[in-house]
Structure 1
């Protein structure tokens, strides 16, 4: 009986320890993988993009002529978001406004200030500047590189 209790206890301890999954996510390693995917995507689609020091790639389609943008601004935009396979996961159906200091992915906080009011930009955002190894919901898998086209309508 004692022997059985000891064995059951050991199995329980081993079960608990092996079920504790260690998070092996390495953002630097993921950024390298994302960079290779982005470079391949840019080459295959003949996109002329600039690499930001953060790892974000961008293409200014129209620089705009209005006010400068900072992360303390509220912006009004139209946008479309796709994965690198071309599948659309989100699109504004009318202009939307939000604070750049708010709860946005880092890629937007870095990329939107690269244009002025009236501008248009394409952001190819590595997963580490988007949702990382999390899936925010249907349509965006974990470690997804995101491809946004953003029209900056207004800056406040």
Structure 2
């Protein structure tokens, strides 16, 4: 398997990982690395309203291999790490669909990216609704409560 290397970094006013919500209006800049990508890598990306950013939870301090209470809240059920989106995942990977505000060469301005200053970016993909779920989406009640203030 080819090793994964960052292709850029997040620039954000949010400096520390925390359980803070309200990511919806956070503006960030994804600065792509000219050593990793040709300057033409973003050509046509501005035609999309949203992108998926794949990044590393580089400040995660532990890895969960089993279950935990989401956000450490004992009011929510013990849930396997693969059934939640916590940063202490086996490979500390995050994926977020965010609004693409601007494309300036290898710099992307985005809204709603839940990554802190200095987060390594592993990949960027245009968001295509055809890849979104088809049909009804089912989620547990605790996740509805958790996400009610997240974005």
TM-score, with normalisation over the residues of structure 1? 0.26
**Structure with the bigger percentage of helix:** 1
Bigger-Rg structure (1/2): 1
